[in-house]
């Protein structure tokens, strides 16, 4: 565009957020953009996770880019492979591959002389005016610290490293974990395995979800009438943000009460009193990320399923040994396959990247005690560095694609300031960061996440890294940057 400075921009990650950012930057007249992706293909979490039963926990018709409505989802909540195909289709439609560098993990980013100097696993990449960090929060698998894990003689793997074409038919399978992933796997594999041992440390609240197919006639109606598809998107999005999102931050008590009742009523599907007691959490609904399933309680009650709540003492070549009050040696659960459904380290946002801001200030040292960012997007002393999914982003049970687009829109308005040529660098004032994070800490006690449980929302120092206000406030805050909160150079 005439009269505007040309900017060279680096994006970290070719997942859903990075692909969207590339499309939007091109549309804004910023064509000099490169995505650095550590893997050999796009898709992020939808590429890495291939386990049986993988399903989005957000209704399909609300899980899409604003600029790419999709009438072809097969179910109320889309299976993971469909979402990956959606992203691949978007990449092909917008010819994104030409600007993606695969096998290029960003190793270092150092700000000097007004630019970010970047190296990747492929070497020196030169200088960039802007970096957009869009690597996501759920891509570093968390492995359990259990004695003897490496001694197991059967097949063992993390759910984010599921082997291609791996059959569980007729095998004795153990699953460690009871989060969303383990819940989905349980319902998906129970009818093909010889036995399933589900090792539970903490029970979960589960919201009933009948993940029915979307009839072909309904999809045809969406194809014929895009306005109908948009209406459904608006309805589902409002349902998520005005009821659930508001409920968990203490802004909609009636919706929260309904949520509690749905989960408690759903638990009554478990007919055995002892099993139901062991599946009943001792914390409030929503304190951990809420799980949605329409088949878990049915699956765990089948004859070939066992919920194991005794503590794991060690892994042995033949299986998993747990404590047992009736035996000094405990009990050995003999297995052919051990699946680690132990989630991700959500607090390694930039790891293992080394990021050095103004005057050589390191991001890992800045974040040593707590990860903090101004409005979850920018960081003092790290000029022209923008995050999609930074600390305290909204990470509840609603569409991440909506969150990502809103954060990008905020970042783009700041990037446009750089394009004028009057400003070479910008970053938030330290006092703006402090005011925002003080407000986060003051509001967090009102949320269900702070009500007393351990979850991946909470870091090792007890900081809850989520958005403690309504989603509507998030949308308002992302609409227009408050320029008085920024330093310009």
For the CA atoms of 476, 480, 482, 486, what is the dihedral angle to 10 degrees?
130
Rounded Cα–Cα distance for residues 243 and 232 (Å): 16
Same domain membership, residue 188 and residue 81: no
* Residue 265: inside a domain: no
Same domain membership, residue 194 and residue 72: no
- Please state, as a whole number, how many other Cβ atoms lie within 10 Å of the Cβ of residue 417: 15
* Residue 52: inside a domain: yes
- What are residue 115's DSSP bridge partners? 112
* Residue 258: inside a domain: no
* 463 pLDDT tier (thresholds 50, 70, 90): confident
Q: What is the CATH number of the domain that holds 353?
A: 3.50.50.60
Same domain membership, residue 122 and residue 186: no
In this predicted structure, the answer to whether residue 95 has a pLDDT above a threshold of 60 is yes
* 339 pLDDT tier (thresholds 50, 70, 90): very high
> What is the domain extent for residue 195?
149-204+288-340
Domain boundary among 321, 340, 359: 340
pLDDT, position 456: 77
Same domain membership, residue 51 and residue 135: yes
- Please state, as a whole number, how many other Cβ atoms lie within 10 Å of the Cβ of residue 444: 17
Specify the residue for token string 């035996």: 327
Same domain membership, residue 478 and residue 434: yes
Same domain membership, residue 315 and residue 183: yes
Rounded Cα–Cα distance for residues 5 and 419 (Å): 5
* Residue 458: inside a domain: yes
3-state secondary structure of 470: coil
In this predicted structure, the answer to whether residue 136 has a pLDDT above a threshold of 90 is no
* Residue 442: inside a domain: yes
260, 262, 233: which is closest to 248 by C-alpha?
260
Three-state secondary structure string covering 208-229: ECCCCECCHHHHHHHHHCHHHH
In this predicted structure, the answer to whether residue 54 has a pLDDT above a threshold of 70 is yes
pLDDT, position 132: 98
The overall average pLDDT reported for the chain is 94
How much is the average pLDDT of 323-344? Answer: 92
Specify the residue for token string 């139901």: 276
How much is the average pLDDT of 141-147? Answer: 93
Same domain membership, residue 318 and residue 416: no
How much is the average pLDDT of 32-60? Answer: 95
Compute CA distances 446 → 213, 281, 380, 462, 472, whole Å: 37, 20, 27, 15, 17
- Range from 229-233, 263-267, 394-398 carrying the lowest mean pLDDT: 394-398
Compute CA distances 238 → 94, 291, 460, whole Å: 29, 20, 33
The tokens for 400 are: 């991440």
- Please state, as a whole number, how many other Cβ atoms lie within 10 Å of the Cβ of residue 349: 23
How much is the average pLDDT of 69-93? Answer: 97
* Residue 267: inside a domain: no
Same domain membership, residue 416 and residue 303: no
Higher local confidence (pLDDT), 414 or 457:
414
Q: What is the pTM (predicted TM-score) of this model?
A: 0.95
Are 294 and 211 a contacting pair, CB within 8 Å?
Answer: yes
pLDDT, position 327: 83
| H or E stretch covering 19 | helix 16-27
Same domain membership, residue 410 and residue 306: no
Are 195 and 306 a contacting pair, CB within 8 Å?
Answer: yes
Same domain membership, residue 19 and residue 78: yes
Same domain membership, residue 114 and residue 50: yes
In this predicted structure, the answer to whether residue 329 has a pLDDT above a threshold of 90 is no
pLDDT, position 3: 67
* Residue 128: inside a domain: yes
In this predicted structure, the answer to whether residue 1 has a pLDDT above a threshold of 50 is no
Rounded Cα–Cα distance for residues 66 and 62 (Å): 9
Quote the number of domains for the chain: 2
Same domain membership, residue 306 and residue 379: no
- Please state, as a whole number, how many other Cβ atoms lie within 10 Å of the Cβ of residue 281: 16
* Residue 81: inside a domain: yes
């Amino acid at each position: 565009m005439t009269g505007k400075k040309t900017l060279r921009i680096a994006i970290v990650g070719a997942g859903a957020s990075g692909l969207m950012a590339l499309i939007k930057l091109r549309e804004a007249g910023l064509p000099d953009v490169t995505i650095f992706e550590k893997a050999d293909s796009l898709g992020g979490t939808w590429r890495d996770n291939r386990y049986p039963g993988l399903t989005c926990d957000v209704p399909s018709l609300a899980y899409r880019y604003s600029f790419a409505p999709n009438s072809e989802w097969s179910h109320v909540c889309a299976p993971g492979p469909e979402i990956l195909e959606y992203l691949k289709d978007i990449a092909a439609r917008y010819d994104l591959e030409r600007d993606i560098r695969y096998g290029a993990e960003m190793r270092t980013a150092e700000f000097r002389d007004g630019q970010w100097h970047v190296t990747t696993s492929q070497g020196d990449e030169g200088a960039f005016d802007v970096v957009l960090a869009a690597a996501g929060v759920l891509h570093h698998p968390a492995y359990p610290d259990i004695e003897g894990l490496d001694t197991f003689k059967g097949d063992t793997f993390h759910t984010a490293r599921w082997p291609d074409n791996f059959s569980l038919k007729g095998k004795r399978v153990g699953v460690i974990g009871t989060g969303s992933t383990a819940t989905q796997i349980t319902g998906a594999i129970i009818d093909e395995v010889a036995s399933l041992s589900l090792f539970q440390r903490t029970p979960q609240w589960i919201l009933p979800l009948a993940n029915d197919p979307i009839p072909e006639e309904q999809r045809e109606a969406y194809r014929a009438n895009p306005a109908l598809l948009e209406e459904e998107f608006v309805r589902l999005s409002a349902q998520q943000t005005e009821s659930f999102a508001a409920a968990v931050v203490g802004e909609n008590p009636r919706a929260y009460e309904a949520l509690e009742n749905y989960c408690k009523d759903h638990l009554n599907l478990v007919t055995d009193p002892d099993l139901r007691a062991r599946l009943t959490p001792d914390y409030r609904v929503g304190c951990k990320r809420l799980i949605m399933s329409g088949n878990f309680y049915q699956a765990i009650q089948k004859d070939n399923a066992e919920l194991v709540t005794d503590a794991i003492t060690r892994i042995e070549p033949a299986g998993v040994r747990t404590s047992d009050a009736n035996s000094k040696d405990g009990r050995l659960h003999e297995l052919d396959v051990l699946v680690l459904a132990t989630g991700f380290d959500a607090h390694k946002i930039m790891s293992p990247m080394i990021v050095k801001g103004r005057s050589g200030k390191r991001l890992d040292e800045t974040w040593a005690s707590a990860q903090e960012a101004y409005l979850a997007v920018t960081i003092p002393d790290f000029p022209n560095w923008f995050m999609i999914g930074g600390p305290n982003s909204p990470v509840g049970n609603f569409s991440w694609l909506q969150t990502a687009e809103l954060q990008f829109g905020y970042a783009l308005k700041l990037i446009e300031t750089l394009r004028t040529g009057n400003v070479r660098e910008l970053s938030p004032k330290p006092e703006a960061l402090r005011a925002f994070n003080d407000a986060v800490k003051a509001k967090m006690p009102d949320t269900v996440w702070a009500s007393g449980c351990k979850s991946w929302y909470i870091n090792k120092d007890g900081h809850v890294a989520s958005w403690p206000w309504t989603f509507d406030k998030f949308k308002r805050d992302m609409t227009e940057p408050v320029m008085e909160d920024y330093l310009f150079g």
